[in-house]
Amino acid sequence: MKRHTFLKLVSFLVLLLLLSAGAGYVYRGYLCEPVTDSSAARKVTLTVPSGMTIAKVASYLSEQQLIHNKYFFYYGAKYPVLVKGRETSGPLVLKSGVYDLSSDMTLAQIYAVLSSGISGQVHVTIPEGLTLRKVAQLLEEQKICSAQDFIAKGHDVQLLAEYHIPAESFEGYLFPDTYYLIPGMDSSDVLTKMADNFFAHIQSIPGLSEAPADVLHTKVILASIVEREYRIAEEAPLIASVFTNRINKEIGLYSCATIEYIITEIQGKEHPDVITYDDLQIDNPYNTYKWRGLPPGPISNPGTVALAAAANPPETNYYFFRVVDAAAGKHVFNSNFQSHVNSGNTLYTKKAAGSK
């Protein structure tokens, strides 16, 4: 018999002996009661993946001090008669999910939550390419936090300094991903979760993991533009190479995505169906048709594909690209303007990007 199994058996026998005695009834009541009262409650979020065993749950809850005894929890799950307040006659059926538990819950309440299949958290997916404002709107729609509060935290000078971000906001540093969030969360907790996720992901991207803050910021700006321009992952590095070549030659980026950012995020207007010639004349530092180099800051929150492309763009002789298959998001790349013109409409008349 394995030592772990033997210890479980011994513990179970000891519990049975205690419960069989007069004092055992009192002890059983103690084991079923909350570890703390509400004033001193510790809240813990427990993720139960498919296939997780009751024994592992018992050990975790014991480590987090949410239950008095892991062995009693284990056998109480199998034999409901041991647990005061359990209304079911059958053993605990542990269901996968994300559960919010607290040390002021009785053992019966914990069993009820774990068998309910009702997660205490909301799964919120942040798509690649959203702006800080749109992320805030999505969070408010999911009742996670106020959009206004989230945007305010996204411009918090002290918080930006803690992350060594040389910018006026967290635009570009909110990593697109699926997050497990709780309705009514503090906006700063949500924002730092996304920012922490960003810095964790760039550790695996050469050129970003070791980059100083100012260099990283320029890469994030470039990635934010690439994110809004590419549709096919394989083309993201080529688009990054076009912009890098134009920067090196001190040629304007001519990115429609930056014009959209001005219109929707700075001017607060609806997303345009088409970028017009008048739009290209907007006097704003984010207008890459009027000014050379990168804009002052990121125009979206890029994902891994765009970040990797901006960090390590391939060496090409491409200076132009345009859409040749709008449905598929496929582009054609050219090294000179005449070839670009011959291949179709120029970037000036390209349908507005940002369909992602």
pLDDT at 27: 58
pLDDT at 297: 98
Question: Which of 27-36, 65-74, 264-273 shows the lowest per-residue confidence on average (mean pLDDT)?
Answer: 27-36
pLDDT at 347: 41
The residue type at 221: I
98: helix, coil or strand?
strand
Q: What is the rounded distance in angstroms from the CA atom of residue 275 to the CA atom of residue 292?
A: 19
Q: What is the rounded distance in angstroms from the CA atom of residue 222 to the CA atom of residue 210?
A: 17
Q: What is the DSSP string of 289-327?
A: TTSBS--SS-SS---HHHHHHHHS-------EEEEEETT
pTM above 0.85, yes or no: no
pLDDT at 338: 65
Q: What is the rounded distance in angstroms from the CA atom of residue 124 to the CA atom of residue 127?
A: 10
Residue 191: phi, psi to the nearest 5?
-65, -45
Mean pLDDT in residue range 311-317:
97
Helix (H) or strand (E) holding 43: strand 43-48
Where does the pLDDT of residue 30 fall: very low under 50, low under 70, confident under 90, or very high at 90 and above? confident
Please, are residues 332 and 324 in contact by the beta-carbon 8 Å criterion?
yes
Where does the pLDDT of residue 6 fall: very low under 50, low under 70, confident under 90, or very high at 90 and above? low
* pLDDT surpassing 70 at residue 23: no
123: helix, coil or strand?
strand
pLDDT at 24: 52
pLDDT at 348: 35
- H runs (alpha helix) in the chain: 3-20, 22-32, 54-63, 70-78, 107-114, 132-141, 147-153, 157-162, 187-201, 213-229, 236-248, 256-261, 304-311, 337-342
Could you read off the pLDDT of 165-183 as tens digits, one per residue? 999 999 999 999 999 887 7
State what percent of residues in the chain have pLDDT above 70.
Answer: 86
Q: In 108-139, which positions are buried (b, 16+ CB within 10 angstroms) versus exposed (e)? A: bbbbbbbbeeebbbbebebebbbbbbbbbebb
Q: What is the rounded distance in angstroms from the CA atom of residue 103 to the CA atom of residue 66?
A: 4
pLDDT at 349: 33
* pLDDT surpassing 90 at residue 214: yes
| Mean pLDDT score of the chain | 87
Token pair for 66: 């949410």
